[in-house]
């Protein structure tokens, strides 16, 4: 088996593999072009027959007020006759060795499968479905502007400033996630503005007449006033549509606090956010936020990525840490790659008894300094790729 990047000459084979894996029709008449990402493939020993591949795109995400280089993984697929031959695992091994990214993110078809590769579910978001009538308490007073691509500087600036309120949130620098051709796409992004005319929120949505529903894919706001501004605008549709669906709300969203407590026809559905894995453990440990008071702990990272494997000693004070790695000796906790990614990137909200329920963890010494170092973090990402 040969693992290498795909070239332009391999793209038709990629389409064959994807067609057979995902069961879709492949049109030979389409002109094939390389995307912005990199395709990594597994070939037979002839170096021509593609059996499996995946795509990796470059992104930046937030972490503790800073940026991490992130790989967005998609198009992971194997021809049916070559499945269970280890091709996908070998592709991932080659990718991890590239040392290109600090972390990677994917949307798994199976969390169990990808956990074996070190990925862990990053959390959840909430979908809300409700009658428009429940927003009747919102005054019909708003200031919004339809986004058409010419206001990108202001919209990107607001999104990216807001992104640093949470961890693992994507930095955006193009219109991939904003609707800049509303009259063609029939999918709209409206920017909310404060009293000074500055963008302080946005909403992206589409309207479906057969179901009488407005589907909101993103609702992002700076404060209570900017939220009410966007909701007041959405109310302009309540004469034509009966139902409002808002997807991908954070589990802690204050939107839930403003809804009528007596309403019984508000449906909430929780969904997985996606999965994440650490590639550069030492860098992220050094970037993390720590308590002001002194603390010290050690954990054994049982990760097949060589530079992440070993015992990591962390000594912290005044929000910063000194991190070192060794091969043997005593430690407080042993973690597999997925548990390590969960603890360091996402944190926890319990005690050692709660941690004992995690998969891939072995508690040797209940050191309170380790618990204090990794409190639960507000993590949010929903940018598909």
Residues 71 and 23 in one domain: yes
Q: What pLDDT is recorded for position 263?
A: 72
In a domain, 63, yes or no: yes
For 88-128, how does the pLDDT look when each residue is reduced to its tens digit (9 = 90+)? Answer: 999 999 999 988 999 999 999 999 999 999 999 999 999 99
State the total domains in the chain.
3
Bridge partners (DSSP) listed for residue 348:
375
Residues 32 and 74 in one domain: yes
* pLDDT at 34 > cutoff 80: no
Q: What pLDDT is recorded for position 261?
A: 74
Residues 235 and 290 in one domain: no
The residue ranges of DSSP E strands in the chain, in sequence order, are: 2-5, 38-43, 50-63, 66-78, 103-106, 120-121, 124-131, 144-146, 188-193, 199-208, 213-221, 243-250, 267-272, 275-278, 295-302, 310-317, 320-326, 333-336, 361-363
Cα–Cα distance list, 363 to 122, 296, 306, 359 (Å): 22, 16, 22, 12
Residues 50 and 173 in one domain: no
Nearest to 59 by CA among 165, 160, 166, 172: 172
Domain that holds residue 27: 2-101
CB atoms within 10 A of CB 39: 20
Distance CA 6, CA 13 (A): 10
- Among 30-39, 197-206, 361-370, 375-384, the minimum mean pLDDT is found in 30-39
For 127-183, how does the pLDDT look when each residue is reduced to its tens digit (9 = 90+)? Answer: 999 999 999 999 999 999 999 999 999 999 999 999 999 999 999 999 999 999 999
3-state secondary structure (DSSP) of residue 213: strand
pTM: 0.92
Residues 132 and 264 in one domain: yes
3-state secondary structure (DSSP) of residue 97: helix
Token digits of residue 336: 């597999």
As a whole number, mean pLDDT of residues 22-46 equals: 80
Distance CA 176, CA 202 (A): 15
* pLDDT at 83 > cutoff 80: yes
Q: What pLDDT is recorded for position 259?
A: 87
Residues 159 and 266 in one domain: yes
Q: What pLDDT is recorded for position 29?
A: 55
Give the position of tokens 């990925």.
Answer: 119
Give the position of tokens 């708003």.
Answer: 142
Q: What pLDDT is recorded for position 31?
A: 61
Cβ atoms of 226 and 233 closer than 8 Å? no
Last-in-domain residue among 223, 250, 272 = 272
CATH number of the domain residue 50 falls in: 3.40.630.30
As a whole number, mean pLDDT of residues 235-253 equals: 96
As a whole number, mean pLDDT of residues 4-15 equals: 91
């Amino acid at each position: 088996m040969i693992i290498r990047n795909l070239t332009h000459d391999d793209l038709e084979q990629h389409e064959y593999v994807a067609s057979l894996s995902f069961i879709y029709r492949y049109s030979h008449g389409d002109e094939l072009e390389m995307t912005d990402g990199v395709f990594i493939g597994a070939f037979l020993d002839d170096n021509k027959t593609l059996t499996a591949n995946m795509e990796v795109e470059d992104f930046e995400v937030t972490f503790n007020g800073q940026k991490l280089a992130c790989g967005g993984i998609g198009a992971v697929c194997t021809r049916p006759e070559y499945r269970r031959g280890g091709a996908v695992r070998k592709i991932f091994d080659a990718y991890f060795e590239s040392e290109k990214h600090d972390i990677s993110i994917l949307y798994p078809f199976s969390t169990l499968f990808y956990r074996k590769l070190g990925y862990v579910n990053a959390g959840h978001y909430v979908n809300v479905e409700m009658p428009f009538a429940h927003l009747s308490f919102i005054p019909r007073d708003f200031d919004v502007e339809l986004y058409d691509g010419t206001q990108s500087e202001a919209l990107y600036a607001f999104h990216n400033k807001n992104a640093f309120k949470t961890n693992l949130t994507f930095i955006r620098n193009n219109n991939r996630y904003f609707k800049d051709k509303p009259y063609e796409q029939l999918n709209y992004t409206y920017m909310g503005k404060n009293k000074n005319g500055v963008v302080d929120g946005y909403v992206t949505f589409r309207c479906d007449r057969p179901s009488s529903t407005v589907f909101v894919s993103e609702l992002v706001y700076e404060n209570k006033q900017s939220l009410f501004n966007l909701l007041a605008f959405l109310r302009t549709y309540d004469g034509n549509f009966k139902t409002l669906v808002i997807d991908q709300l954070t589990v802690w969203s204050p939107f839930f606090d403003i809804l009528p407590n007596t309403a019984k026809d508000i449906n909430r559905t929780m969904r997985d956010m996606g999965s994440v894995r650490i590639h550069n453990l030492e860098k992220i440990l050094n970037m993390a936020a720590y308590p002001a008071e002194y603390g010290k702990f050690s954990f054994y990272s049982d990760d097949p990525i060589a530079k992440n494997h070993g015992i990591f000693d962390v000594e912290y004070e005044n929000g910063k840490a000194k991190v070192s790695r060794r091969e043997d000796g005593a430690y407080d906790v042993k973690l597999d790659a997925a548990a390590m990614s969960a603890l360091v990137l996402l944190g926890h909200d319990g005690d050692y008894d709660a941690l004992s329920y995690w998969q891939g963890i072995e508690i040797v010494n209940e050191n309170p300094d380790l618990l204090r170092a990794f409190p639960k973090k507000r993590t949010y990402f929903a940018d598909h790729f």
